[in-house]
Amino acid sequence: ILNVEQSPQSLHVQEGDSTNFTCSFPSSNFYALHWYRWETAKSPEALFVMTLNGDEKKKGRISATLNTKEGYSYLYIKGSQPEDSATYLCAFITSSGYALNFGKGTSLLVTP
């Protein structure tokens, strides 16, 4: 079992606040790191797939960074909106693996 740790477990912010989450993973045999957003009663949807150390990706107000040498990734949300409320999942795959290893997720609630 390959442990993926996400922190914080949950987060409650006000509309307009910026926030960030952390994902930690084993740094050996790294292949790819995925971030997903999972809204209640919907399917998890991919935000980013990152493969290179130092990768930075951005989609609107959401961005992510990757450090494969030390085994962590950050997800940032700038100017949080209520529609950002969801669980954010991090998952990684090793070079010898066939499937994603998920963390427990960070549950974000953004209130107006």
Residue 7, helix vs strand vs coil: strand
Q: Candidates 13, 49, 63, 72: give the one binding other proteins (CB under 8 A).
A: 49
Counting contacts by CB under 8 A, is residue 93 touching other proteins? yes
Rounded CA gap, 51 and 64, in Å? Answer: 12
Counting contacts by CB under 8 A, is residue 45 touching other proteins? yes
Counting contacts by CB under 8 A, is residue 32 touching other proteins? yes
- Window contacting other proteins (CB under 8 A); options: 21-29, 56-64, 78-86, 87-95: 87-95
Q: How far is the CB of 16 from other proteins (least distance, A)?
A: 29
- For residue 26, whether the previous peptide bond is cis, meaning omega lies within 30 degrees of 0, is no
Rounded CA gap, 12 and 43, in Å? Answer: 22
Counting contacts by CB under 8 A, is residue 74 touching other proteins? no
Rounded CA gap, 44 and 55, in Å? Answer: 22
Rounded CA gap, 33 and 73, in Å? Answer: 8
Size of the site for other proteins (CB under 8 A): 24
Q: Candidates 44, 67, 74, 78: give the one binding other proteins (CB under 8 A).
A: 44
Counting contacts by CB under 8 A, is residue 40 touching other proteins? no
